[in-house]
């Protein structure tokens, strides 16, 4: 296949991954605000678009470099081979995320693209950086746990301090604005961490520069948010546990701080894991019985399956291509 055609297909699939990220992960930012009735769906989507794109543009380069060359060194591969790895891994990640979105399950696009890149790398016998994958996997385990702990602590802290510091007549509007601001912070950190899932392989194989790929991916994510993002927002906002406004504030702050730390270190973590972990943490303040264990069990199963399924899709797809095309 000609290089120009491959480049076009890589960009197309990268845009599709960005779209699927916007559709599935928009809920991670302000789904809790919608669930607690602070914002309606339209208002939440507008804020997610603005701050998600700002996060991608200003800090998306950290994780983009990890996805592009930290799992498989795409820049060290033959140009043609690198393009095939980028194309197939993007396809595999996108296929699984779209399917999960259809089921209204907030899975991890980070898990999906990492598994897909590793699967494609194995299919072409490229050198896999297993130490990096190990480190990423460890961070995946601690992402929801850390968010749950932070969520619990933030709720306890805010519950005790806000009611003492702020006069009762001002309490509701102050909490409302804090929820909106913390949700915007979540959207910013989400854009900064997750844009790499769409365009890391694009910059890694040299199709676009890091900055150009981030802008491209950010725009694709915006399209995903505005066209299909409402589906998972409903799940995160209302189906895990019933959220009071101060719970939504605590969950959003916990998730944002959690993801931002990993982003600064260039680690692709799951914003889905982070916000769900934070919601569980604040929910535990009211007692374990308030949690919807059925929906949580389904989420955890999808989380565990994600890197393996996307990796398997990637591995099989690239091997099928190799039967017909000499790579």
Cβ atoms within 10 Å, residue 291: 16
- Average pLDDT per 10 consecutive residues for the chain, totaling 327 residues: 87 91 74 75 88 94 93 92 95 86 74 94 94 92 92 91 86 88 92 93 93 93 82 58 76 93 94 83 72 64 84 96 88
Q: Are 116 and 311 in contact (CB under 8 A)?
A: yes
Of all residues in the chain, the percent with pLDDT exceeding 70 is 88
Q: What is the pLDDT of residue 291?
A: 60
Q: What is the pLDDT of residue 108?
A: 80
Residue 3 lies in a domain: no
Q: Are 176 and 245 in contact (CB under 8 A)?
A: yes
CA distance 145 to 139: 10
Q: What is the pLDDT of residue 277?
A: 87
CA distance 106 to 3: 35
Q: What is the pLDDT of residue 212?
A: 94
Range of the domain at 65: 9-324
Report residue 77: phi and psi, to 5°.
-85, 160
User: Into how many domains does the chain fold?
Assistant: 1
161-219 residue pLDDT tens: 888 888 888 888 998 899 899 989 999 999 999 999 999 999 999 999 999 999 999 99
CA distance 34 to 42: 10
- 68: three-class secondary structure by DSSP: helix
Residue with tokens 């190990």: 134
Residue 77 lies in a domain: yes
Question: Which tokens go with 35?
Answer: 């669930």
Q: Give this prediction's pTM.
A: 0.86
Name the DSSP class of 39.
S
Residue 2 lies in a domain: no
Q: What is the pLDDT of residue 28?
A: 66
Alpha helices in the chain (DSSP H): 3-25, 27-35, 41-59, 61-69, 79-102, 109-123, 130-165, 168-204, 210-228, 230-238, 245-264, 271-285, 293-324
Residue 298 lies in a domain: yes
CA distance 124 to 75: 15
Q: What is the pLDDT of residue 122?
A: 96
Q: What is the pLDDT of residue 271?
A: 83
Report residue 94: phi and psi, to 5°.
-65, -45
Q: What is the pLDDT of residue 21?
A: 82
Residue 162 lies in a domain: yes
Q: Are 275 and 28 in contact (CB under 8 A)?
A: yes
């Amino acid at each position: 296949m000609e290089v120009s055609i491959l480049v076009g297909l890589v960009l197309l699939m990268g845009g599709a991954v960005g779209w699927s990220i916007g559709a599935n992960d928009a809920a991670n930012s302000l789904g809790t605000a919608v669930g607690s009735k602070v914002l309606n769906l339209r208002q939440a989507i507008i804020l997610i678009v603005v701050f998600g794109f700002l996060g991608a543009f200003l800090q998306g380069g950290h994780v983009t470099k990890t996805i592009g060359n930290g799992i498989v060194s795409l820049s060290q591969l033959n140009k043609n081979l690198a393009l095939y790895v980028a194309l197939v891994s993007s396809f595999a990640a996108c296929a699984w995320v779209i399917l999960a979105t259809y089921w209204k399950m907030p899975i991890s696009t980070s898990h999906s693209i990492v598994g897909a890149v590793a699967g494609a790398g194995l299919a072409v016998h490229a050198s896999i950086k297993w130490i990096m994958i190990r480190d990423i996997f460890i961070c995946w385990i601690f992402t929801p746990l850390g968010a749950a702990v932070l969520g619990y602590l933030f709720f306890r802290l805010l519950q005790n301090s806000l009611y003492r510091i702020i006069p009762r007549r001002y309490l509701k509007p102050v909490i409302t604005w804090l929820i909106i601001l913390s949700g915007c912070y979540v959207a910013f950190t989400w854009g900064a961490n997750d844009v790499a899932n769409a365009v890391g392989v694009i910059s890694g194989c040299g199709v676009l520069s890091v900055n150009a790929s981030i802008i491209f991916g950010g725009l694709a994510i915006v399209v995903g948010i505005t066209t299909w993002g409402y589906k998972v927002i409903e799940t995160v906002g209302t189906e895990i546990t019933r959220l009071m406004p101060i719970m939504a504030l605590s969950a959003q702050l916990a998730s944002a701080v959690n993801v931002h730390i990993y982003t600064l270190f260039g680690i692709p973590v799951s914003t889905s894991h982070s916000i769900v972990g934070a919601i569980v943490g604040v929910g535990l303040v009211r007692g374990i019985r308030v949690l919807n264990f059925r929906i949580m069990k389904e989420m955890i199963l999808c989380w565990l399956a994600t890197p393996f399924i996307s990796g398997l899709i990637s591995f099989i797809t690239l091997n099928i291509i190799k039967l017909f095309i000499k790579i």
